[in-house]
Amino acid sequence: VAHLAPLRPVVGGDTRVPLVDGTEVGYANLDVAASAPALQAVADRVTQVLPLYASVHRGAGYLSQVSTALYETARRTVGAFVGAREDDLTIITRNTTDSLNLLAGCVPAQPDGEPGRVLVLDVEHHANLLPWQRATGATVLTGGPTVAETLAQIRDELADAAAGRPYALLALTGASNVTGESLPVDRIVALAHEHGARVVLDGAQLVPHRRISLEATGVDYLAFSGHKTYAPFGAGALVGRRDWLDAGTPYLAGGGAVRRVRTAVTDWHEGPARHEAGSPNVVGAVALAAACEELAALDPAEVVVHESALRQRLVEGLEAIDRVEVVRVWADAVDPVGVVTFTVSGYDPGLVAAYLSAEHGIGVRDGRFCAHPLLGRLGFDAGAVRASVGVGTAGEEVERLVAAVERLVVEGPQAGYDVVDGLWVV
Ligand code: PMP
């Protein structure tokens, strides 16, 4: 894969960084699962609209009208990109965490007033675990070692509950931020719907890498983040079925979410405005929509081929190195997205990450990736190192990582490293 060039230019793709030996090298950003650099086309669009934004919805001035049109067009683009059904709402949020917390306030209560039941797996990012745990006292299912066993566990749990207190919602990752693996969406939707539960997909790691259509899959809700989808921070989306969202608790109380307010009573809007109180992030929404348009213009198969080749090279290259272990959730997972997490025995993950940065100019992530239950179950409580790729990643960057880890194992680090305030530094 050394010859693979990025599929699309990203901002900062030519950044050079200093190394500890005093030389300089092109930065290899293999941490795109945390935050992906903006596509050049996104940056261009932001530059275009910056002079135009003004207050939205309530202003009558020309620029307010332009801004409102930009915002509402962006909303439609984002919804269309993920195959929103005609009656679905597309709510512009801050990020995936925001989207899932919003939805957690909209799960209908059970007939006796108890919170609606939510089922989640222990493989989830905390963003798709804690909102359910807090709002609904979710049931957290410990997944099995294979996809097949995990699906059977989910089916049994849904079926057992159906006779008494059925689940309202199954909250599932679209792709794990630790391993890139996922469960088959069509099977999950079929199982959940058969037992009267809806499905929300945490699309934070899915949407940037695979085309997903709510309409085609029957997924009820999808949450994702702009900053992982090649747009800047600050805008994300929750897309999905209108009825719960229209009836749910308005996410924020404030201007724009209300039709009429008296001192004692308030008449809340329905539709996206209900959950978008306060001045919205017009530029963020436009940037997210620009990223969606740019991704939509790519052949999805080309993205899969590019990123899968990079991922496969990472896995094979790393697994060929003595003392390196690659983390897996399910033995039979298919079509993982470009995330690979590994450990190097004898080296703290924080040291490995510091070494890759200081001696090779490679950016990765270390720690427990906001997925403590999963890392604990798999025996990686001490954390691990994560490398991730996207449409802006070149094959040469992946080769550099494999070579750098090999060098660490064979020769050890060249510089001295220490822990200062909990962080590994040279
Ligand atoms: N879910 C997954 C799978 C993620 O990878 C992340 C980010 N690491 C989130 C949710 C939360 O995303 P955000 O921080 O943008 O809200």
* Cβ atoms within 10 Å, residue 207: 30
Spatial CA neighbour of 274 closest among 240, 254, 255, 250: 250
Q: What is the Cα–Cα distance from 351 to 258, expressed in whole angstroms? A: 51
Q: Which distant-in-sequence residues (6+ apart) come within 8 Å of 396 by Cβ?
A: 2, 4, 28
Report the pocket of ligand 1 as residue ranges, CB < 6 Å.
Answer: 95-97, 125, 127-128, 173, 177, 202, 204-205, 225, 227, 370
Spatial CA neighbour of 118 closest among 145, 135, 148, 138: 138
Q: How far is the CA of 102 from the centre of ligand 1 (A)?
A: 15
Q: Which tokens go with 338? A: 């470009």
**Averaged pLDDT, 157-186:** 97
**pLDDT band at 168; cut points 50, 70, 90:** very high
Tell me what pLDDT residue 295 has.
Answer: 98
Name the amino acid, one letter, at 331.
A
**pLDDT band at 26; cut points 50, 70, 90:** very high
Tell me what pLDDT residue 269 has.
Answer: 93
Tell me what pLDDT residue 223 has.
Answer: 99
Per cent of the chain over pLDDT 70 is: 100
Q: What is the Cα–Cα distance from 174 to 184, expressed in whole angstroms? A: 9
Tell me which of 80, 304, 370, 426 is the catalytic residue: 370
Query: For 296-309, what is each residue's pLDDT tens digit?
Result: 999 999 999 999 99
What is the value of pTM for the model shown?
0.97
**pLDDT band at 53; cut points 50, 70, 90:** confident
Spatial CA neighbour of 225 closest among 418, 52, 384, 82: 82
Q: What is the Cα–Cα distance from 407 to 17, expressed in whole angstroms? A: 20
Closest-CA residue, ligand 1 atom 7, reads: 34
Tell me what pLDDT residue 249 has.
Answer: 94
Tell me what pLDDT residue 60 has.
Answer: 83
Q: What is the Cα–Cα distance from 226 to 81, expressed in whole angstroms? A: 13
- Strands (E) in 94-193, as ranges, are 117-121, 139-141, 167-173
- Of 40-54, 58-72, 167-181, 377-391, the poorest mean pLDDT is in 58-72
Query: For 182-206, what is each residue's pLDDT tens digit?
Result: 999 999 999 999 999 999 999 999 9
Contact in structure between 308 and 338 (CB atoms under 8 Å): yes
Widest pairwise Cα distance in the chain: 72
Atom of ligand 1 nearest to the CA of 34: 8
Query: For 370-384, what is each residue's pLDDT tens digit?
Result: 999 999 999 999 999
- Strands (E) in 356-401, as ranges, are 362-363, 365-367, 384-388
With the most atoms of ligand 1 within 8 angstroms of its CB, the residue from 122, 177, 183 to mutate is: 177
Q: How far is the CA of 228 from the centre of ligand 1 (A)?
A: 8
Backbone φ and ψ for 343, nearest 5 degrees, come out as -125, 155
**pLDDT band at 226; cut points 50, 70, 90:** very high
**Averaged pLDDT, 389-417:** 98
Tell me what pLDDT residue 379 has.
Answer: 97
- pLDDT at 59 exceeding the cut of 90: no
**pLDDT band at 119; cut points 50, 70, 90:** very high
Tell me what pLDDT residue 56 has.
Answer: 87
Q: Which tokens go with 217? A: 């899959």
Q: Which domains are delineated in the chain?
A: 16-30+300-425 (3.90.1150.10), 42-297 (3.40.640.10)
Closest-CA residue, ligand 1 atom 12, reads: 96
Q: Catalytic residue at 370?
A: yes
Q: Which tokens go with 19? A: 């190394």
With the most atoms of ligand 1 within 8 angstroms of its CB, the residue from 32, 92, 95 to mutate is: 95
Mean pLDDT of the chain: 97
Atom of ligand 1 nearest to the CA of 173: 3
Question: Could you give the ipTM of this predicted complex?
Answer: 0.99
The helix (H) or strand (E) run that includes residue 283 is helix 282-297
Q: How far is the CA of 18 from the centre of ligand 1 (A)?
A: 29
- pLDDT at 128 exceeding the cut of 80: yes
Spatial CA neighbour of 102 closest among 114, 84, 87, 89: 89
Contact in structure between 233 and 327 (CB atoms under 8 Å): no
Tell me what pLDDT residue 306 has.
Answer: 98
Tell me what pLDDT residue 64 has.
Answer: 93
Q: How far is the CA of 20 from the centre of ligand 1 (A)?
A: 32
Q: How far is the CA of 204 from the centre of ligand 1 (A)?
A: 5
**pLDDT band at 23; cut points 50, 70, 90:** very high
- pLDDT at 147 exceeding the cut of 90: yes
